[in-house]
Amino acid sequence: MTDALIDSLAAARKAQKITQADLAQRAGLSRMAVQRTETGDVDPRYSTLLEMSRVLGMQMMAVPADLVPALQAFIQSGGKFLGQPVGADAPPSVVDVYAAEPQGTYKVR
How does pLDDT run across 21-31, given as a tens digit for each residue? Answer: 999 999 999 99
pLDDT in tens, 51-77: 999 999 999 888 888 888 888 887 777
What is each CA distance from 81 to 44, 71, 75, 101, in whole angstroms? 35, 11, 9, 20
pLDDT of res. 80? 64
Amino acid letter, 70: A
What is each CA distance from 1 to 6, 9, 44, 92, 103, in whole angstroms? 8, 12, 8, 37, 47
The Cα 107–Cα 109 span in angstroms is 6
pTM of whole model > 0.75?
no
- In the predicted structure, residue 44 carries a pLDDT above the cut 80: yes
